[in-house]
Every structure is written in C-alpha cells, then in structure tokens.
A = this chain, B = another copy of it.
Amino acid sequence: MNEYYRSAYRPLLALDCVIFGYEEGTLKVLLTRRKQEPYKGAWGLATGFLHEGESLDNAAIRILKKQTGLDDIYMSQLQTFGDVGRDPVERVVSLVYYALVRVDAYDEKLLEQNQAQWFSITALPKLMFDHEDMIQKSWGKLRRKSRYQPLGFELLPEKFTLPELQTLYEAIHQKQFDKRNFRKKILATNLLEKLEEKQKGVSKKGAYYYQFQKDKYDELIAAGFNFELKSMAFGS
C-alpha cells in the first residue's frame, strides 16, 4: 500500500437497518435500545459496524440476522448519512438499509433478548441521532417503490387476502383506496394466484386467500419485463 492510501482519513462505518413490518393494520418499525453509553437505553435502529473483509450487503444481512433471526429478507440500500456531528461521540458515517419482514415469521423471544420492540410508524418514540430522519426517508422510498414494484407481499404471510393487502397499502400510503379499483389494479399484474381456501374468523363471509407468484415475477424480470410506469415514458 502506498502513501496515497496510507495517509487518508479513516472514519468509522456503521450500518443502520430500518426494519419494516406489518401487523394489525399498521405499518411498524422494529427498534432496539442502545446498549452502550452514552445514551444507553435510547431507542434506535438495529445497527453495527462494518467488519473487515465483509461486503456492505453481507454486513446488513448479518445485522438483520442478529436482530430478527431471519435470513432471506428483502433488503435494499437507502443512502448514506455522514453529517459531521450526527453521532455526538465520534465521527461515524452510516449506511442505511431498509428491510421488509413478515412479522409472523419473527421470533418472539428475540424481541426480549435484543430489547427490541415494534412501533407503529405513526407513533415512534424519540430516537437517537438522525434515526428519525432515516426512518422517514425509508418510508418515502417504500411508498415510491411500492408503486412500481410488488413489495407489499414481502410484508405479508405467504397466504393473504386482498382486503389484507389493501389495508397494508393503505398503511404504507396513509390513504384510503377504492376496493374495486384496487383489486383491478393488483389483479391486472397477473402475479397473484387465487387459492381455494377462504380465511376464517375475520369476517363472516370469509375472504379468499391469494399467493404471490414469485417464480412468475422472477421470470418476467429475467425476460427484461419492466414494471415501471408507462406514463411519462416519452414513448415515441
């Protein structure tokens, strides 16, 4: 290694994960209490430093696994935060990932073990550093992305009903949708398989379960199919 590299400043590099979940009709975020002084006990995102020899994505996977017990989580980089005073203890540059998990797959025991808790996105506690900003920006990204990518499914169990899916979208967008138009739009993607089974216990009539056809989606993606919006496509 030469002078060019050796003399450079080396900041700490952290990864913070905004973990979204969906439960009881509201969009939630998983928060944990900070384990070290100062600000010990303050609510914040799941976090960790990058390890030597570890890629960024792998570091995020490691942190998510530790926090949730799950691999194979939908996960994507949001952006990097690096204001000078954002961590008052020491200069830390922080890469934010956001992740979508199925709350039903979540290991309850880990909540206690990690001093973690789900909070409704509309009723967050006071958060340390710039974590509030990170969550709001992640939510914005989720809103925008859910318009052209079938993300909602990542937050629901394998089998879900259309009313459930609609309520989820309403929680993400904080907006009511028309039942008929919503169904039309969702079913028009042709990515949902209707099952024979009906949901019991929630309503008297019972709603049909659907399943997201991930294979079909992956095929379409592989074939170069584009779920992007058509309008403003400057077509021809």
Contacts and interface: CB of A to CB of B under 8 A. Distances in A.
A225 to B, nearest CB: 16
Given A1-B90, A11-B10, A50-B9, A83 B55 contact: yes
Interface string A1-33: 110110011111100000000000000000000
Interface stretch (A99-107, A194-202, A209-217, A227-235): A227-235
A82 interface: yes
Contacts of A56: 80-83, 93
A228 B53 CA distance: 40
Contacts of A37: 2
Given A50-B93, A82-B55, A233 B147 contact: yes
Interface stretch (A109-117, A121-129, A156-164, A174-182): A174-182
A83 B5 CA distance: 17
Contacts of A203: none
Contact of A5 (B2, B12, B50, B177): B12
A173 interface: yes
A79 B13 CA distance: 15
Contacts of A82: 50, 55-56, 95
B178 A236 contact: yes
B9 A52 contact: yes
A84 interface: yes
A169 interface: yes
A54 B84 contact: yes
Contacts of A36: 2, 4
Interface of A: 1-2, 4-5, 8-13, 36-37, 49-56, 77, 79-84, 89-93, 95, 144, 147-148, 169, 173, 175-178, 181-182, 185, 228-234, 236
